[in-house]
Structure 1
């Protein structure tokens, strides 16, 4: 690591593998100290040892299951009480294992507990803490399925749509208060999520699967450029801008005293 000024501690959830571990490596290179959160103590500690040696930064670990009240409370407390933490990468999440109607509802409940409830709790805790500390960065990992809901199981799609809506709305509520926000929307990314779901990423169209390091590197460039929403594989940023503009164009007619004429019964 070059001798750049330390940028504060970045807390990364789901940090033991995949996108979370990649964020840890790339943020360490940027000079961030790290607090790594996941359930797998062995993998967390091995990653921490490696990053301390490679990047010369401080790396702490917090073993926690964010689907359990005790684990979530421990991470929330650390966010609120540790003034060195200036960045949260809300990455921990569960992917689908099959169609929603063929899935174990208890597993879908666990998905929502992690992808929605835990992410929401930590996002608000971090936003409050960072504003109180004079600034900070909140990165929420969403997914492009939020924009293309018909091609993925609905519970997972809905959970990622929540992440996008939360980030956009929170940006409006906290504007001008020193909080930097970003929703990252990856497409298919080569991580262990495929194996956990019983799939082989190598059987997918290779032109559609991005390597985790490329995805996270692009996301960090988007963060540097001040993007609220980053879609790493989208070549034309104007398409996202057009979608936002279309939503804004509808805004004046989303709440009216009477229904639109097309919904009125014949006289």
Structure 2
């Protein structure tokens, strides 16, 4: 707690209108959005790389964003860091009655239902309105893959879902066929729509296969990065540039990268 208090005091000094840091004083909630998102992704990257020293540092960077936003809110009389901590502590206790209130759930399904009901109740209390849709609360600002997963999970909990992964494979083939027809039509807007439908159903397939679509794509990106950099190394050894090589040559290097386990 001593270091938490130190962080809060440092943030206050950085924001001091007379003696603080000019850059820190210029920031507002909106200007910090890119930094907050970036730090969250860097935490994920450190976890996926298994670098726990880096994870400690990246979690600190993410905590700085919480302290920064809390300080600006305190300056405006909205809330402070302590209120943020209290809010999440209250929420955790409220949503885990099986841990803190001695309530027993007879299944994971019952526990999840309680969790969702609690979220809806909290939203009603906050807004004074009854939620109009079970999809409310899924932030539209999320990365598209993550938003798709959350929308699908919400709908599935209320019975709107395929029975099996096999059924989703059929939908993937259907959407792929519709995309091919749209491409053949030359209608760019239709192509964009059908491609979106295909991506959405692929996320659904990932969910049915118990695979996180965001993580799967990030792993695919890493694999591509490794293999393409291997291609670059191979090309450099030949004394050529990438642009001087034929696609057949580059494909051969790609196959070599696969055989090498990249």
TM-score higher than 0.5: no
Considering fraction of residues, name the structure with more helix: 2
Considering fraction of residues, name the structure with more strand: 1
- More RCO (CA 8 Å, sep 6+): 1
| Largest Rg, 1 or 2 | 2
Give the structure-1-normalised TM-score: 0.22
